[in-house]
Amino acid sequence: MKRMTLAAVSALCLAAALTACGSSDKDTDSKSEPTKATASPSKTLSPAEQVAQLMVTQAESGGYSVKKPADGDALAKSQAEMSVDKAACAPLAYAMNELPVGTPEATLTHFANKSTGMLTYITLSTYADGKAAAAMKSLSTAAGSCGSGFTAKSDSGSTTYDSVTVETAPSGGDESGATAATFKFQGFTQTIRTQTFRFGNTIANYFTLDSSAFMNAHAGTAKIPADLVTVQNAKLG
């Protein structure tokens, strides 16, 4: 695995006592009042404003540090910058690299962490009618057909996933799904996880990795924090 963009930056964030990593204070003012929103915000808001309003804030998170990722903290900045050796697996590659699935009208990613070493990327995307359901279907199809793994590449490097496992779909939203994927880094197996929920025309994708495992060079198994998912999903439906 050549690239360490996401994992290395994530580990550095944790090593720096979970403080600022490519984010300004105004993005996550812990003293701000929690934003109340639903998955169907006012029509006067643009799609970008909608996802910004729906994103959980640090004040709402229950003790998490919530920030925007730093530039370069991903294998690719867009779907167009990423290639996948098995085309059917592209939706999975996007979900595990901070990118939206399908063709959203707007998308926004923040990351959240505590001192546990688990780093979770929350990607919220809003879609035109019918597009969110289509995106979920493509992700479900990919999860079911890419069990033997695949390789995702960009100009920044590449990641070869050795296996993908479909896990029990979590409750919540109009539909949901979950996956676990493995790859090796410095000879150690890393297991990362995703949970994805659709609320009407909005999709929330959670991608978690064990940054302490990368930082300390040992095998790692990511666990998506249920409390964070609960708080974020509560804003969506």
Residue 164, pLDDT score: 98
CATH of the domain at 72: 3.40.1000.70
Where in the sequence is the domain holding 99, given as residue range(s)? 5-21+47-234
The answer to whether position 225 is within a domain reads yes
| Structure token digits, residue 84 | 């996948």
Note the pLDDT of residue 71: 79
Could you give the angle at the alpha carbon of 112 between the alpha carbons of 69 and 218, nearest 5°?
Answer: 90
Full-model pTM: 0.83
- Alpha-carbon gap, residue 103 to 22, rounded angstroms: 26
- Tokens standing for 187? 């000879």
* Residue 82 maps to a domain: yes
Evaluate whether residue 33 is within a structural domain: no
Long-range contacts of 79-85 (CB under 8 A, 24+ apart): 81/154, 81/155, 82/152, 82/153, 82/154, 83/152, 83/153, 83/154, 84/150, 84/151, 84/152, 84/153, 85/150, 85/151, 85/153
Q: What average pLDDT values come out for the chain (237 residues) when binned by 10 residues?
A: 40 32 36 47 82 97 94 88 97 96 98 93 98 98 97 94 97 98 94 98 97 90 97 97
Domain contains 203? yes
41 within domain boundaries:
no
Domain count, the chain: 1
